Amino acid sequence: MATQPKPQPFLSDIQTIRKRAREHMKRGAVTDSYTLDRDTVLKLLNEALATEIVCVLRYKAHYYLASGINAKSVAAEFLEHANEEQQHADQIAERITQLDGTPNFEPDGLSTRSHAEFVVPEELAAMIEENLVAERIAIDSYREIINFVGDQDTTTKRMLEGILAMEEEHAEDMKTLMENFGEKGEPAKPTSTRRAGKRG
């Protein structure tokens, strides 16, 4: 009768796991089993955070400055996307802190850290186009970060995959708006009230 193979031991005995956990309590969720270059991951996540913040600001600007016969429904879409991008920023900032990093909310250098640009055209159709371009940039960026992280940080990977899925929805939304809107948009010239708000 063949002998049963001995069961393989768990990664580490429980005493070792407990000892390591106590030794590095200040590192929070980052344990010795985290094999990625944490500095690189934090840099990529802070760039993603900057990208989301710039996207929030761009969508908000477009929401308030959109005008024209077709503007109301388009502006509502901009506002919805702004709120969702803010949720993404919050998720990323929280993950950065879990990895014992510091979320970078510094306004100085925000545009250079961001992968997307802050562009506010006057034409409503051009606003839609700029948002589609920015979403496509975000999609490519997130795919690259997900590929880098791989299965070595499944928590970050799952978070980014969820954000990526929503960015793909945003891109489809903007594509649909472009198709439906065509070239019928009117210039989105701010009123005097909006100008005053912009200066403030």
Neighbouring residues of 114: CB distance < 8 A, sequence distance ≥ 6? 47, 50, 51, 53, 54
Q: Report the SS3 class of residue 123.
A: strand
Question: In terms of Cα–Cα distance, which of 44, 140, 115, 127 is closest to 81?
Answer: 127
Written as six digits, the tokens of 44 are: 């990529």
Amino acid residing at 90: D
Neighbouring residues of 102: CB distance < 8 A, sequence distance ≥ 6? 96
What pLDDT score does 154 carry?
92
State the DSSP code for 152.
Answer: G
What pLDDT score does 12 carry?
54
What pLDDT score does 3 carry?
60
* Intervals of the chain under pLDDT 70: 1-33, 182-200
Residue 47 is labelled as binding a ligand: no
Residue 129 is labelled as binding a ligand: no
Q: What span, in angstroms and rounded, lies between the C-alpha atoms of 46 and 48?
A: 5
Q: What span, in angstroms and rounded, lies between the C-alpha atoms of 103 and 167?
A: 21
Amino acid residing at 185: G
Where does residue 139 rank: exposed (0-12), middle (13-18), buried (19+ CB within 10 A)? Answer: middle
What pLDDT score does 146 carry?
95
Neighbouring residues of 53: CB distance < 8 A, sequence distance ≥ 6? 89, 105, 110, 114
Residue 62 is labelled as binding a ligand: no
What pLDDT score does 5 carry?
58
What pLDDT score does 70 carry?
76
Class of domain 37-193: mainly alpha
Q: Answer for the pair 103, 49: CB distance below 8 angstroms, yes or no.
A: yes
What pLDDT score does 6 carry?
58
Written as six digits, the tokens of 20 are: 């390591």
> Which residue is listed with tokens 């510094």?
106
Q: Report the SS3 class of residue 190.
A: coil
Q: Answer for the pair 82, 60: CB distance below 8 angstroms, yes or no.
A: yes
The helix-helix angle for 154-181 and 124-149 (nearest 10°) equals 160
What pLDDT score does 178 carry?
87
